Every structure is written in structure tokens, then in C-alpha cells.
Amino acid sequence: MNVLVIGATGGSGRAVVAELLARGHRVTAFSRHASGLATAPQLRAVDGDATDPAAVDAVVPGHDAVVIALGISENPLRVRLRGPAGTAADVRSAGTRHVIAAMQRNGIHRLVVQSTYGVGATAGRLGVVDRLFFAVLIKGQAADHERQEQLVRASGLDWVIVQPIHLHDSRVGAGAFVSETGEVVGRKVSRGQVATVLADAAESVAGPVHRSLAVSARA
């Protein structure tokens, strides 16, 4: 398969690029700093900004599936108080809007989007501590995730939304717990585990679509 990863140099983006390459797929890594990724067979790195519709239009054609892993890799307190320094505050929704439009124009149907647990299908499932975290630290980012998910659901594409609980970078051997009804086992999950779920969804071109998957680490 030819798979395009949008937001390929963030933590989750790097993890899903590595996972897809390990499975033998041809991967296009797209981000503002994609050329800084380590070279690898089957990998094409394209520098570009997901909020630039012309850049997105240029990179989307020729792929079988698109994975979106956009986010803001900055301290959430700083982002809440002062806004992001190097990334558009609406990078998730704006980038996703441009990707959807380009996919529709090019007849590409399979879209996999990493969102976050606690919005969309899992809104209202957060505990007290997490609700406070959302309200105090990431209210704006959560709202952008909401807008992103609304765009995906209205796109008419064959979409899968992946909603991980709190992310971390530790290596974990066990597979992720995945639920279509919003249940989670633990309160965190590794980016490697999430990358497996994202890659599974991208591979299943003819598989089930219009699903929101809550992802957590197995107990």
C-alpha cells in the first residue's frame, strides 16, 4: 500500500510511520520538518504545512490511505496561556479540512484520524481529574479536536477515528485494548500501541468504516 501520514514528525506520527514501514508499506511522511526523519527504504519525506491547502493538494494524490496525526507538541500550560509558538492553534481542524478536500478531489477514500479520548463519541466519559485537565489546560485543543471530528464524520469518506487515552512514550509489550463503545482499561496508552491501531485501520481498505475507537493499554 501507499500510505500518507500527515503530521509525521510528532510523537504519534513518527510511531505510525515506523509501524507502517515495518509492515512493508510505502509511506509518504508529510510535515513541516519531514526531511529531518531518518531515511529508510520505502519512505518519502515531504516538507509542508498541513494548514497550506496547496501543499496538501500536492502531496495527497497517489495514495491508498491517509493517516492524520496532527497535534501541538508544546507545553499545554504555555499553549493555554499564550497560544502555541510554532503551530497554528487550529492545526487539527484546518489541516484535516484540507486533507479531506484533497482526498475527495482525488478519489481517495480511506481516512484514519487520531483524535483524543473525551471528545466526540467519548464526550462525557472523562473522570473528574480528566475533566479538570481538559477545562484548565487543553480546552482550546479539545475544541479543535471536536471540530476535526465533525469534519471527518461529515466527509463522506471511509473514515476511522482513533481516540487514545493519555499518551506516553514508554515501550509496552502488550497490545492495546480497543473499544467501539468507549470503554477503556487503563488511564494511559503508549504511542507505539496507538500506532498499531492506526496502521491496522489504514491497512483495512475494505474493512469496517465509520467507527470511533477508544484505545487504552491492556491491564
The residues, ordered by sequence, that sit 6+ positions from 194 with a Cβ below 8 Å of its Cβ are 12, 15, 16, 114, 162, 164, 167, 176, 215
Task: Yes or no: say if 214 and 165 are a contact pair by the CB < 8 Å rule.
Answer: yes
Phi/psi at 172 (5° precision): -130, 130
Q: Residue 89: phi, psi to the nearest 5? A: -60, -30
Secondary structure of residue 123 in the 3-state scheme = coil
Q: In terms of Cα–Cα distance, which of 44, 78, 79 is closest to 61?
A: 44
Structural domains of the chain, ranges and CATH numbers in brackets: 2-217 (3.40.50.720)
> Quick check: 71 and 27 in contact, CB under 8 A?
no
pTM of the model: 0.93
Q: Give yes or no for residue 128 having a pLDDT over 90.
A: no
pLDDT of residue 172: 63
Q: What is the pLDDT of residue 186?
A: 83
% the chain with pLDDT above 70: 97
C-alpha cell at 215: 484505545
Cα dihedral 68/11/214/64 (nearest 10): 30
Half-sphere exposure in the Cβ direction for 178 (13 Å, CA): 17
Q: Write out the three cell numbers for 145.
A: 479536536
Task: Give residue-wise pLDDT tens across range 71-124.
Answer: 987 777 777 778 888 888 899 999 999 999 999 999 999 999 999 999 999 988
Q: What is the pLDDT of residue 81?
A: 76
